[in-house]
Amino acid sequence: MQPDSLGMTWDIRYNSDGLDHLQSHPTAENAIEAACSLLDQGCDVYGVWTGDLAESIDREQIIRIHGRRMKSPVKR
Domains of the chain by residue range: 10-71
Using DSSP's 3-state secondary structure scheme, residue 52 falls into coil
* Cα gap 46→73, rounded to integer Å: 27
Which neighbouring-strand residues pair with 16?
Answer: 19
Give the tens place of pLDDT for each residue, 16-57: 999 999 999 999 899 999 999 999 999 999 999 886 666 788
7 vs 3, higher pLDDT:
7
Helix segments in the chain, DSSP class H: 28-40, 59-71
Band (pLDDT 50/70/90 cuts) for residue 76 is very low
Quick one: pLDDT at residue 2? Answer: 55
Please state the pTM of the whole predicted model.
0.76
Band (pLDDT 50/70/90 cuts) for residue 6 is low
